[in-house]
Amino acid sequence: MITPFEPKIGNDYISYEQKSQRGGPEYHVIAYVAAAADFIYLLGATGVGFTGYQYVVFGSAPDPSLFIGIGLVLSTIFVLAMHSAQAYSPESIQLLRPQIRLICILIPSALAFLLTVIFFLKIGTTFSRGAILMTAVISLSGLICTRLFWHWYLPSAAAAASFKMKRILLICHEEFSAEHWQHKAAASGMTLVQVLRLSDENLLPVNALQRLRQSETDNIDEVFIIWRDPNVSKLEFYLGELRRSASPVNVIFDGVVGRLTSAPARKIGGMTAFQTQRPPLNLYERGTKRAFDIIFSLLAILSLFPLLLVVAIAIKCDSRGPILFRQVRKGYGGRSFRILKFRSMTVMEDSADIRQATRNDPRVTKIGAIIRASSIDELPQLWNVLRGEMSIVGPRPHALAHDELYDAQIAKYAFRRHVKPGLTGWAQINNCRGETPNIEKMEERIFHDLWYINNWSFWLDMKIIVRTAIEICDFGKVY
């Protein structure tokens, strides 16, 4: 059926007629404006940094040739690096955190490069390190402020039709939310003016086919097809119909095909292969992860030693039994190791019949309830990390009895041992921590663990650690 898109009048959408009357510059011009603004600002920030420092410290103005050269090099390096990272596209420049992360990496790196060059050219006495430091502060603060401006301005400008937006014809199935998609498309300078709905059999009526042939004459700038059926024979027919017009055509795969095509791709023998399961971490990645694990765990043990000592004494005074609980778990490659925890229960189960802890479990001691709620009981595993049996971030290891149970029921369960188990993980910060009362809950945890393995990066580990630190503040959860 043909469904004309009926946008809301107000802040969310403006009708196609209103947009065409408003006019304005092309939306993609934003990329050039943003790059030019960064270049000019960095050049000015260098001048302000050098001049300001010279006035404050020496009470005189510096030679302009000193800072103009630095400013030109800094501006050029930064803008070229941002362009290479495709960070100036309208949709990218609205993403606040990635933009700030790039800025905080590129500005210090560019200035460090300049300082290195200055050192090797033996002209360090000509350039003040204090002026360069002031330049770095001004550059970072100003660029972050511009990103806050773009983050605020571009969505409102798109909604107010301040730019010429591409007019989109969308073909999708009945259940697809065109309104939600419109919000996403607006960030790329697109406005949805027509929707053609596919039936359950992926069929379009005859009058819809006529609409496809007339897409160019109907002032449609671009066509998007959302396709979820693995069978693409009908898709090929519709693509053939669309070739009669000159409008650009894009296909977005939904469902299982969409997950496949979103995986990393490479060319092999003239064909495209999608990597749905990444290989184990290479030597460099393992080295980076291990180096961080050693430094983090060692510093954590030293800094938390007073807390560890207090908890050990409290456990000993609270109930009979050892301070530490040791249990066999499977680690990287299925190799067994003994995981360490502060004892939080009256039992020391380590057999084929282990019952998971639950909320208000009578086996949990008074001190155990406190340290479990705050995840303090997991801190002795820093020693496992230091020994190389675990990592700071990775899939949480389960008891052997649970490994055998879920290994037989979940096909990809064993793939969790593709990396070292961790103190915390992607599943834990996505509400998959604590008990798993049913197979569905465990499958959800496994899904997040496998996503982490296939998408590992050092920065993902940093994100998980920060999120975990925030989660620990919630004393109402059981790890």
Mean pLDDT of 357-375: 74
* pLDDT for 125 beyond 70: no
Q: Let me know how long the chain is.
A: 479
Q: What pLDDT is recorded for position 124?
A: 54
> What are the DSSP calls for 431-467, one per residue?
T--S---SHHHHHHHHHHHHHHHHT--HHHHHHHHHH
pTM of the prediction?
Answer: 0.54
What rounded mean pLDDT belongs to the chain? 79
pLDDT score of 123 more than 70: no
pLDDT for the residue numbered 8: 36
Nearest to 397 by CA among 340, 447, 355: 340
Structural domains of the chain, with CATH: 2-23+164-274 (3.40.50.2300), 29-159 (no CATH), 283-472 (no CATH)
Residue 15 has pLDDT above 50, yes or no: no
pLDDT class for 320, splitting at 50, 70, 90?
confident
Residue 168 φ/ψ, nearest 5 degrees: -110, 135
**C-alpha 250 chain-centroid distance:** 25
pLDDT at 393: 94
Q: What is the pLDDT of residue 220?
A: 76
According to the model, what pLDDT value does residue 297 have?
A: 93
pLDDT of residue 11: 33
